[in-house]
Chain A
Amino acid sequence: MIDSVTLFNIGLGFYILSALFYVIYAFTRKDFIGKIASTLAWIGVIIQGAGFIVRGFHKAQVNEVTSLLELYKYAPFTNMYESLMLFGWMVVLIYLFFERKYKNKMFGMFVIPFAILAESSTSILGFSGEVQPLIPALQSNWLLFHVITCFIGYAGAAVAAGIAFAYFLKREDTTKLDWFIMWFTLAFGAFWAFLSIYRLSAWFFCLILAIAFASVVTAILWLIKKLGLPKYFPSVEQLENIMYYSIAVGFVFLTIGIITGAVWAKYAWGGYWSWDPKETWSLITWLIYAAYLHVKYIKGWAGKKLAYFSLLGFISVIFTYYGVNLLLPGLHSYA
């Protein structure tokens, strides 16, 4: 039987090709190129979807599963490798959903790279893709729901962050501060992603690498704006709308994720809430998005400030995912 890691990598290859075509599409505006880009992304999603199924069966074998009731042992979402793959897969899937709904292919070049970055940060260097049996603490039905829902939540946050970038490119009144915030978000995300690959001892190297990466990407974004490409984006109002709905989807799933995590904790550790760093950081992320949902009801708080909140929430997601694992060990050290 074909190995799941191979399927994930083939899928990742399709995402990379698709991102390339999305960029070409953005510059040429040729319909058939856009179609190729979407088709490539769909093929990637289907192949990785098959990857999850294959991996599920493989895991069932390794875990000596004997009955269907032990469904959770098939769930291929129980370590850093698998959860990052799931994250990338969800980002592309959610993106494709919005693409169909809003009939606009200009964002592919912003959103797909998030998935590529997440997935390649595992399979190229860091975490092992080897299928391992589950330690006892992870043997729970709730785990399945917990990890899936959290990751849809994270993916919603990532899509919203991608939209926030497009939003700053689209607006006429983008200031130096806005550029700095975009640059900072990129550098922050890249820093933790690199750190998870090269480990804490190389933090200075990672910092330099992240700054270089963020600067290059910011320069490309600036070029995109200079070339006038944002005029093909949806309108500013539509972008705000898409950002809102990505966060709404993300928030609902993050909420369910935190609650299923609490249920799981109740059955595995004896209490639904222990202020473990991972729990606390998902609560922090949740509070930031809750604030996002309310600021628009305050007079004078619209437009850019909502986009700032969206990026702040995403920074918190990154830290909840990477930072906590690397710096603040707790009960969640596996994922």
Chain B
Amino acid sequence: MEKNKNIWDKLYDFFASIKLAVVLLFLLAVTSIIGTVIEQQASPDVYDKYGPFWKSVILKLDLYDVYHSWWYILLIVLFAINLIVCSIKRLPYIYKLVQFPKKELTPDREKSLPLLFKITLDASKLKEIKERVVNLLKKYGYKVEVKEEGRNIYIFADKKPWARYGVYIVHTGILIILIGALISALFGYRGYMNLAPQTNSNLVTLFYSDKIIELPFYVKCNDFHIEFYPNGMPKAYVADISIIKDGKVVAHQKVKVNEPLEYDGIYFYQASYGQGAFLFKLNQNGKIKEIPVALQQAFKVLNTYYIPLGWDSQGRIFVQYIVHGLKNGFLMIQGVPYQVGPNTTLTCEGIFPDVMWTGLQVSKDPGANIVWLGSAIMIIGLIIAFFIAHHRAWVRLEKEKERENRILFVIGGITNKEKEKLEKELSNIFENIKKDFAASDIGG
């Protein structure tokens, strides 16, 4: 057998093996530790403290961003393949077991059952015995089928056979969660916008990158304030936010921590707050436009994004700008116009250190609902897999050849869990039958 296997069979067996599953679960657990010990997604010089050798290891193996590294993702992909192949291999077998059971307890099959009771009974009561067994099985919640064939009566009883699918429901849930996470990673984003009261913007600066996203609508902050408990602890951060699309207010809400505003699949969270805002003036061919912005909030002029990162006491403003994805910076002096394009100048007219702004986190996560769906499926599957057992029982009433007044009564069963409970059920039935119908002259 082993010799005849070609490479594909071997690969199939490898990916269907539960050993691989345990190894992968373990590797994922161990490698996940790394990311909680080494600081993640920090700038390279943070890792100087490990010394030149370990720093190069950290940088080469992506240990500075474990959970997005190629090898961590490879582990997850292998894990998913493992789960799929394993289920493909086993499901047909489980399906057959659930849907097309062998319903006759033949003497051959008896031997494979872990639980089996036998006794010789009085044949004149055959009909009553049969009815009693059927009723008892029904009382325990079994679905019962009776079949008469030649000298034998076969009874087949099944309880919750679908519970066998529990494990596969769990595994399906996990796959759906992974799909949701993939969609989140590919099509979602997380960033921030800082808005001072009475300012608006459509620009979101993404975390951990220099990318800026332009929303198809404007977000306006009408008001921002902090509420306190009597003892001085903060009770609530409240930002009054409107969404403005094509000049019309399309949504309006008080955004608090734990109470984000959702519009068009994009969520706005009250995430932080701070102080400091600027008033810029744009002069384009003599046309003047005022641009009020909060600290660290991006604004756009021509094809360039500008982000005021800070100021000092001498009225100098440090401004970062991004053109075509490239980042650079310069110092602006309050009141001095800067040429930013043909016939276009930008001037910082004022610095307002006391203005409070709300830091909104902006996120779009098209995979989240898929993750919740997968989670629900997984939990239902877990409950079925652990706490619902499949019981299956067989009975054979066999008329003996030599003695017409005797029948042989055989009852047996299997279960995937709850062996003790099945044993109790079957032995109760057995004792009940034995008590009332045992042949008087011979024992079991």
Query: A287-335: which residues lie under 8 A (CB-CB) from chain B?
Result: 287-288, 290-291, 294-295, 297-298, 316, 324, 328
User: Are B375's CB and A270's CB within 8 A?
Assistant: no
Cβ contact within 8 Å between B235 and A136:
yes
Interfacial chain B residues near A270, Cβ < 8 Å: 190, 260, 267, 269, 271, 361-363
Give the residue name and chain of the B residue nearest to A301 (CB): B22
Contact of B32 among A137, A280, A295 (CB under 8 A): A280
Closest residue of A by beta carbon distance from B257: A136
* Chain B contact patch, size range: 35 or more
Shortest C-beta distance, A51 to chain B (Å), equals 23
Contact B361 A269 (CB under 8 A): yes
- A127 neighbours in B (Cβ, 8 Å): none
Q: CB within 8 A of A137: which of B35, B40, B257?
A: B257
Q: Which residue of A lies closest to B260 (CB)?
A: A267
- Tell me whether A136 and B25 are in contact (CB under 8 A): no
Q: Tell whether A135 is near chain B: CB-to-CB under 8 Å.
A: yes
For the residues of B in contact with A, the DSSP-based class is: helix
Chain B residue contacts of A262, Cβ below 8 A = 371, 375
Note all chain A residues with C-beta closer than 8 A to B383: 252
- Asked if B258 is at the interface of the complex by the 8 Å CB criterion, the answer is yes
Q: Contacts A273-B181, A298-B18 hold; do A251 and B382 have CB atoms under 8 A apart?
A: yes
B54 within 8 A of A: no
Would you call B256 and A136 a contact (CB within 8 A)?
yes
Tell whether B379 is near chain A: CB-to-CB under 8 Å: yes
Chain A residues with CB under 8 A of B18:
294, 297-298
Secondary structure type dominating chain A contacts: helix
> Which residues from B are CB-within-8-Å of A288?
25-26, 29
- Expressed in whole angstroms, the minimum distance between the Cβ of A243 and any Cβ of chain B is 13
A203 interface hit (Cβ, 8 Å)? no
- Does A64 lie within 8 Å of B361, measured CB to CB? no
Size of chain A's interface in residues, with CB distance under 8 A? Answer: 43
Task: Please tell me if A248 contacts chain B, counting CB pairs below 8 Å.
Answer: yes
- Interface bits A105-140 vs B (CB < 8 Å: 1, else 0): 000000000000000000000000000110111011
Please determine whether B229 and A277 come into contact, CB atoms closer than 8 angstroms: no
A290 touches which of B25, B229, B235, B260 (Cβ 8 Å): B25
Residue B303 lies at the interface, judged by CB distance under 8 Å to chain A:
no
- In the complex, the answer to whether A328 meets B36 with C-beta atoms within 8 Å is yes
* CB-nearest residue of chain B to A133: B229
Closest to B269 in A: A270
Contact A272–B371 (Cβ < 8 Å): yes
Q: Given the interface contacts A272-B365, A298-B19, does A291 sit within 8 Å of B29 by beta carbon? A: yes
Minimum Cβ distance to chain A for residue B213 (Å): 14
| A46 interface contact, C-beta 8 A | no
Q: A259-B379, A277-B36 are in contact. Are A266 and B368 (CB under 8 A)?
A: yes
- Do B233 and A135 touch (CB < 8 A)? yes
Asked whether any CB of chain A lies closer than 8 Å to the CB of B1, the reply is no
A294 touches B21 (CB 8 A): yes
Query: If the complex has contacts A259-B375, A259-B379, are A287 and B36 also in contact, measured as CB distance less than 8 A?
Result: no
Nearest B-chain residue to A287, judged by Cβ:
B29
Q: Bound state CA distance, A135 and B382, in angstroms?
A: 34
Contact A280 B36 (CB under 8 A): yes
Select from chain A the residue with minimum beta-carbon distance to B36: A277
Name the CB-closest residue of B to A258.
Answer: B375
Interface residues of A in 161-182 (CB under 8 A from B): none
Q: Which residues of A contact B28 (CB under 8 A)?
A: 287
* A263:B372 contact, CB within 8 angstroms: yes
The answer to whether the Cβ of B165 comes within 8 Å of any Cβ in the partner chain is no
Q: Is the CB of B258 within 8 A of A140?
A: yes
Residues of B within 8 A of A277 (CB): 36
Do A248 and B378 touch (CB < 8 A)?
Answer: no
* B378 adjacent to A255 (CB under 8 Å): yes
- Bound-state CA distance A268–B365 (Å) is 14
Minimum-distance CB pairs A-B, first 10 = A136-B257, A287-B29, A248-B386, A270-B361, A291-B25, A270-B363, A277-B36, A259-B375, A140-B258, A270-B269
Q: A251-B382, A269-B271 are in contact. List 11 more A-B contacts (CB 8 A).
A: A133-B231, A135-B234, A136-B258, A137-B258, A251-B386, A270-B260, A270-B269, A283-B32, A294-B21, A328-B36, A328-B37
